[in-house]
Amino acid sequence: MGSWVRKLGLFAAVAAVIAPGAAFAGRAASTGGADLAPHRAIYSLSMGRTNSSGQFVNIGGAVRAVLEKTCDAWISVEQVKMQVTTQGGGELRQDLMYTRWESLDGKDYRFAARSTTNGKITKYRGVAHSEPDTEGEAVYSEPIKITMALPSGTQFYFGLTSWLIEQARAGAKRAETIVFDGTDEEGPQKAIAFIIPLKTAGNRPSVKGETNLGPLVDRPGWNMHIAFYPLGGRAAEPDYEVRAVVLDNGVTLKLELAFTSFTAIQTLEKIEALEKPEC
């Protein structure tokens, strides 16, 4: 339960874990490529498809996200409040807080995550470094001291978003990369994605109140279908899959997280632009 719930709050990160296999060649992405838009946004959480044998029957809640740019880094804060109802009538309440700092060259990363589930608190905190041609490293200071190796070219949060948009603009249809976000102890993962351009704004999935969301969402974009696998694993089936609508400024309109018996949906409800720094 804990792993997939934590992933629900990572709408931008999940939507961005992509790079074309042929062009990747182990190099790290710079976060300065695509013209990402600093913004503040609110998303709703809801249950998508489910079946009668599924453990979960309803999901509700909201995500508040802030993406800021400084002269040397990208900073994001995400707060998730979620309620999950089970088949037996029980309810799980989860509050999550994510904070990330990533240097503009995509090499240095600091992360902190706090999850409270029905009163039980779990924390993750640490730093990481990635290089294009040599092995990197992630060091956790919470919940315990853990050091893990990162494959060369491992990508973090904002570098992935920029890389995703650059490759989608270049016409990539299939892409894969290695990603690390620090929101749990699982370490880096392999992500494989398929990219389909949105032909017109009218082809985007229906988003509640979209006509009132403003110019940040009146942009071209792509449908992305992304599957996540354990690094080095041989399983044919991914741990989970994501379907996302990502615009060329890094804004995610909608994200659907798919599991065996149900899907959870994150939908943009409100967004406002934040100023970029004068450096």
- Mean pLDDT over 223-235 rounds to 81
Query: CB-based burial of residue 96 (10 Å sphere; 0-12 exposed, 13-18 middle, 19+ buried)?
Result: buried
- Mean pLDDT over 175-195 rounds to 85
User: Per-residue pLDDT for 226 more than 90?
Assistant: no
- Mean pLDDT over 109-129 rounds to 91
Tokens 């090499």 map to which residue? 107
DSSP label at residue 194: E
> String of b and e for 239-258 (b: at least 16 CB within 10 Å)?
bbbbbbbbbbbbbbbbbbbb
User: Per-residue pLDDT for 202 more than 60?
Assistant: no
Residue 200: predicted pLDDT: 61
For the stretch 49-82, pLDDT in tens is: 776 666 777 888 998 999 999 999 999 998 888 8
pLDDT confidence bin for 208, thresholds 50/70/90? very low
Beta 240-247 vs 252-258: how paired, if at all? antiparallel
Q: State the pTM of this model.
A: 0.80
Cα–Cα distance between 277 and 256 in angstroms, integer? 32
pLDDT confidence bin for 21, thresholds 50/70/90? very low
Cα–Cα distance between 265 and 183 in angstroms, integer? 19
